[in-house]
A and B are shown apart, each in its own frame.
Chain A
Amino acid sequence: MYVEAILVFLGEALIAIGVFFDIIASIGMLRLPDFYSRIHALTVGTIGGAVVPLIGVALLALGAPFLGVYRLYLAGAAIITAILLLMLAPTGTHVIARAAYRSGAAKPLYISIDELATKSEGRGGEKR
């Protein structure tokens, strides 16, 4: 009884935190100046705005006894999706940023030092 109430409360709190992160990510996507700073806002939206609320959904489902045995399916699916997103979202962002840098599609305007430019992975695909 009390355990279920605590689970529901925690789950709703995590979903509310997710809403907060999603709003922050949306503002960041609109307001940040270039590609490389907007990609930070993108990951705030995928981790804070998708992984955290999915864990909240899992807790919410575990605290809902009227769902019967299906609450375990719901919670398991939500947790697995959260773990997959936790692995895939940073990887996807990394691959996109790397491709954008190496192809020269997005110019890094607001950086003070460009360490990759001195390494073998030069800009614009030259001397890979």
Chain B
Amino acid sequence: MSAYRALILVSMVVFALALSYALTYGILRLEVPLTLRDLAKLYISTTFNPLKRELSAMTPEGVTAIVWDYRGTDTFFEIVVFYGAIIGSVALLGAVYRYPPGPGLSLIAKTVTRIVATMILVVGAAIALHGHLTPGGGFQGGATLAVSITIALVTFSLGALMLRGLTYGGMVALRSLGLIGIVLTVFMVVIASLTAGITAYVFQNQPKPGVPIGMAYSVDGIVFSGTVWFLNVLDAIAVAAGFALLFIVLIGGGVEGERE
């Protein structure tokens, strides 16, 4: 063993021992503070509070409440940026052609992918559908769904999946469906308020002070948090289709063949 290797070994051991000592005896001052700041108190008292319904987002998951209710417009423009990036990539990489099914990976990889990709689809759908109750939400669920599509693309080849319906046009249609749904959900309360003869806010979810109209937050005791559930599901569809579109274009764009 050379002196250089011995030095690396000794420094790694010293680092691990020092870190464990510091964490055990609290030298780094990483203790959890016992008092809440006023901002935290505000969010905790308004994310899900049926007693203050006019101030509450009625979404038990705090992060999703902030993402789709407190700052919904900001999230909307984040999504616009994301789709702008995807449209840019699609425009740069050009048209996708219809391929014959390729050989794909080996039989072992295909068999395991059939099992695991299905499980990932279920997990992604659960993350999106429970986004208002558990950590996660639309974008995270959609990204998980896209993982499933991506490993299927790698394992079975683009041509084989195109035969089974994962086409460029289909993904564009699905992505547009999600986006149109998001826009309709954003204006849902406004449209309802026009028929009632009062004025509501864009991106409104629950009734607000001065605007008595709003979404219900539960059906038969099952909390769905008004617009947040719809926005999560539609965002998951749009994100999954957008990522799938990106990977289809990255794998199959700009090669000679019969155009789809």
Q: Does B bind A?
A: yes
- Chain A residues within CB distance 8 Å of chain B: 84, 87-88, 90-91, 94-95, 98, 128
A88 and B112 alpha carbons, distance in the complex (Å): 7
Contact across chains for B108 and A94 when beta carbons are under 8 A apart? yes
B105 at the interface (CB under 8 A from A): yes
Chain B, 108-150, CB within 8 A of any chain A CB: 108-109, 112-113, 115-116, 119
Q: How far is the CA of A91 from the CA of B109 in the complex (A)?
A: 6
The number of chain B residues touching the other chain, given as a range, is 10 to 19
Interface of B is mostly: helix
Q: Judging by beta carbons under 8 Å apart, are B103 and A128 in contact?
A: yes
Tell me the B residues contacting A by CB distance below 8 Å.
Answer: 103, 105-106, 108-109, 112-113, 115-116, 119
Docked-complex contact B115 and A95, CB < 8 angstroms = no
How far is it, in angstroms, between the C-alpha of A98 and the C-alpha of B154 when the chains are bound?
Answer: 14
In the complex, besides A84-B116, A84-B119, 12 extra interface pairs with C-beta distance below 8 angstroms are A87-B112, A87-B116, A88-B112, A90-B108, A91-B108, A91-B109, A91-B112, A94-B108, A95-B106, A95-B109, A98-B105, A128-B103
- Please pick, from B109, B115, B116, B119, the residue contacting A94 in the complex, using a CB distance under 8 A: B109
Contacts of B112 in A (CB 8 A): 87-88, 91
Contacts of A91 in B (CB 8 A): 108-109, 112-113
Distance from A79 Cβ to chain B, minimum over Cβ atoms (Å): 14
**Of listed A95, A98, A128, residue having the most chain B CB within 10 A:** A95
